[in-house]
């Protein structure tokens, strides 16, 4: 079955460490997204990518980095520069199109900084 796989589901990090969250999709979607979710707040866009080797900053990109070397993969690195990294992170994808398309989400990764 097609879908999005995020890993790990839970991750603990010490302050000052970089961590990378994996996101893989087999839906043949061009567009991929990373969102952050904090309690009581709506999802906020961190980065998005329309096509391989291209990506754009979202609303809260500071302290994060991404790469898009393959169509199927869009990993997110939470760097030590991110001041408040403890959050729930969701990856999503959609078809590239001039019109809107349905979004598909992964199961999420919960990051806790100790």
Partner 1 sequence: KNEVEQSPQNLTAQEGEFITINCSYSVGISALHWLQQHPGGGIVSLFMLSSGKKKHGRLIATINIQEKHSSLHITASHPRDSAVYICAVTHSIIQGAQKLVFGQGTRLTINP
- Give the footprint of partner 1 on this chain (CB under 8 A): 30-31, 33, 37, 40-45, 48-51, 56, 88, 90, 92, 94, 96-108, 110
The DSSP result for 65-84, as a single string, is: EE--SBTTB--EEE-TT-S-
As a whole number of angstroms, the distance between CA 1 and CA 8 comes to: 20
Least spacing, CB of residue 36 vs partner 1, in Å? 11
Least spacing, CB of residue 61 vs partner 1, in Å? 13
Least spacing, CB of residue 3 vs partner 1, in Å? 10
As a whole number of angstroms, the distance between CA 111 and CA 114 comes to: 10
């Amino acid at each position: 079955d097609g879908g999005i796989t995020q890993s790990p589901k839970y991750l603990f990090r010490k302050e000052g460490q970089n961590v990378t969250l994996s996101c893989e999709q087999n839906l043949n979607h061009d567009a991929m997204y990373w969102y952050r979710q904090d309690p009581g707040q709506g999802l906020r866009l961190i980065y998005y990518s329309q096509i391989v080797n291209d990506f754009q900053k979202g609303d809260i990109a500071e302290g994060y980095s991404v790469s898009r070397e393959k169509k199927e993969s869009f990993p997110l690195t939470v760097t030590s520069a991110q001041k408040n990294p403890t959050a729930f992170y969701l990856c999503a994808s959609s078809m590239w199109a001039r019109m809107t398309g349905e979004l598909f989400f992964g199961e999420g990764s919960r990051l806790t900084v100790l």
